[in-house]
Amino acid sequence: MRNALAISTLLVTGLLDAQVTALKVGHLVNPATGPAAANQVLLLEGGRFTAIGADVPIPAGATEVDLSQYYVSPGLVDAHNHLALTYKEEPEHNSYYLTSVMDSTALRAIQAVSNGMTMMNAGFTMVRDLGNNANYADTALRVAIEQGWVPGPTIIKSGIIIGGFGGQFYPVPEREMLIEPEYLNADTNDEIVKAVRRNILYGAKIIKICVDCKPYGYTADEMRLFITEAAKSGLKDAGHVQTHGGALRAIDAGIYSIEHSVALDDETHKLMAKKGIWRVCTETPFTTYHTNTPGAKERFDRQVAGMKNAYANHVKMAFSTDADYYIPGMDRGQVVIDFIKSWQAAEIPAPEILKIMTVNGYKVCELYDKRGPIKAGFPADLIAVRGNPLENLDTLRDVRFVMKDGIFFKKDGVMVPGAFFHSGPVPPSAWRIH
């Protein structure tokens, strides 16, 4: 009886009803295949696309939405973010070790909601979140979005980063307990298996490991153990890599993705291309707000040369940022979209960059056959901008319209997230936690 009542309430509120929406789109961009198609009609029903084309008839009674002045694209993907971490100059001097002491998991989960909404505002409807989320704030975020408590991108997340003793931290001996929960220590085969299982139990969709954060990084055999244990639950492994030796070991083990580019060169790119390993490379742009560190320009030039080399070697590349900090005057979404500067500096053509920001993003999240492309039967996610991003990528800096699961998040350049908020899980199947 209760369930019936709940479902009838949903019907009244329009969440599960059969109302058809028709979007009249000026230009529909398909990053997978190339040029934009003019004057398209997109029909939606129950949160999914049902028909797309120039000659699709609009059913009587459908709600019509005029997007004729826009270029409509699939939503963007950031393949490496940390939504539940924001370190700052004040008070912690940009040391996230101190952030982990000062900000509770609860506070960081709320920060993650805020960061997720700013990501949506910037056009990112999918985010791969790779750890540094205190005690599973990332799971709380993902479940809250999936249950309809708050709006946010589709989240593929890792839970706690697993590393050899200490993870990426350098605590003093009397504060050793501060390694966890930011990192899970796993130094033996038994501990590796247990750490993988713990993350999976608490909602991970990918396993993130520190390949070489310490001199005693993981061997190729230890990484193979990570891979086989994760694979039992259908998960892949992402490796934080910062040394050439670590890259070679991770490639040898057949890791799914290498995070960061600092250790990658022509040799490793060729091996990655051969094995189909993703390059999730987090290249920070050269900007006025990032240039206060010594050697920033030289580092940026090396990054750009690395991107060009990876692209020339046909390595699978994903748009990714490692965004986990506060830049005064900018929200997380604005920080992230500014990373297109790095891709433009690498002189990769705009249509290729858009493909990397969409198609490749869905693929590295392993959702390409379920969500992302604007396709009949798929969840109705999309963004709209004023100009053609295939010709001018900077049009993505001013996203005017965002829709996720057929619900409008942003219209006419303004966030209108009201329809996303529910005082209970929606749909009822989302009661399942983790």
Q: What kind and span of H or E run contains 161? A: strand 161-163
Question: In terms of Cα–Cα distance, which of 396, 328, 333, 321 is closest to 114?
Answer: 333
Tell me how far apart the alpha carbons of residues 257 and 250 are, in angstroms, rounded to a whole number: 9
Nearer CB in complex with Zn ion: 285/379: 285
29: left (phi over 0), alpha (psi -120 to 50) or beta: beta
In the bound complex, what is the minimum distance in angstroms from residue 15's beta carbon to Zn ion? 35
In the bound complex, what is the minimum distance in angstroms from residue 208's beta carbon to Zn ion? 8
| DSSP β-bridge partners for residue 38 | 27
Nearer CB in complex with Zn ion: 185/242: 242
**Collapsing DSSP states into helix, strand and coil, what is residue 401?**
strand
In the bound complex, what is the minimum distance in angstroms from residue 29's beta carbon to Zn ion? 29
How far, in Å, are 32, 95, 324 from residue 115 at the CA level?
28, 19, 10
Nearer CB in complex with Zn ion: 78/322: 322
Peptide bond preceding 427: is omega within 30 degrees of 0, i.e. cis? yes
Residues 6+ apart with CB under 8 A from 349: none
Say if CB 337 and CB 397 are below 8 A apart: yes
Q: Which residue is nearest to Zn ion (CB)?
A: 322
In the bound complex, what is the minimum distance in angstroms from residue 205's beta carbon to Zn ion? 16
Nearer CB in complex with Zn ion: 319/409: 319
Tell me how far apart the alpha carbons of residues 238 and 128 are, in angstroms, rounded to a whole number: 11
Nearer CB in complex with Zn ion: 166/387: 166
Give the per-residue contact string, 226-265, with Zn ion (x = CB under 5 A; - = no). ----------------------------------------
In the bound complex, what is the minimum distance in angstroms from residue 235's beta carbon to Zn ion? 18
How far, in Å, are 338, 348, 352 from residue 317 at the CA level?
18, 12, 10
Q: Which of residues 405-434 bind Zn ion (CB under 5 A)?
A: none
Q: Which of residues 268-327 bind Zn ion (CB under 5 A)?
A: 322
In the bound complex, what is the minimum distance in angstroms from residue 81's beta carbon to Zn ion? 8
In the bound complex, what is the minimum distance in angstroms from residue 323's beta carbon to Zn ion? 9
Nearer CB in complex with Zn ion: 7/98: 98
In the bound complex, what is the minimum distance in angstroms from residue 96's beta carbon to Zn ion? 10
Q: Is 129 in the site for Zn ion (CB under 5 A)?
A: no
Q: Please, which contacts does 167-170 make with residues 24 or more away whose CB atoms are closer than 8 Å?
A: 167/210, 167/213, 168/210, 168/213, 168/240, 169/97, 170/97
Which pairing describes strands 207-210 and 183-185: parallel, antiparallel, or unpaired?
unpaired
Nearer CB in complex with Zn ion: 103/322: 322
Task: Please give the size of the binding site for Zn ion, defined by CB under 5 A.
Answer: 1
In the bound complex, what is the minimum distance in angstroms from residue 406's beta carbon to Zn ion? 32
What are the structure tokens assigned to 174, written together? Answer: 């009397």
Peptide bond preceding 173: is omega within 30 degrees of 0, i.e. cis? no
166: left (phi over 0), alpha (psi -120 to 50) or beta: left
Tell me how far apart the alpha carbons of residues 341 and 24 are, in angstroms, rounded to a whole number: 31
Tell me how far apart the alpha carbons of residues 338 and 322 are, in angstroms, rounded to a whole number: 13
Q: What kind and span of H or E run contains 81? A: strand 76-81
Nearer CB in complex with Zn ion: 280/393: 280
Nearer CB in complex with Zn ion: 138/322: 322
In the bound complex, what is the minimum distance in angstroms from residue 224's beta carbon to Zn ion? 23
Nearer CB in complex with Zn ion: 223/280: 280
In the bound complex, what is the minimum distance in angstroms from residue 169's beta carbon to Zn ion? 14
**Collapsing DSSP states into helix, strand and coil, what is residue 330?**
coil
Nearer CB in complex with Zn ion: 84/353: 84
Residue ranges binding Zn ion (CB under 5 A) = 322
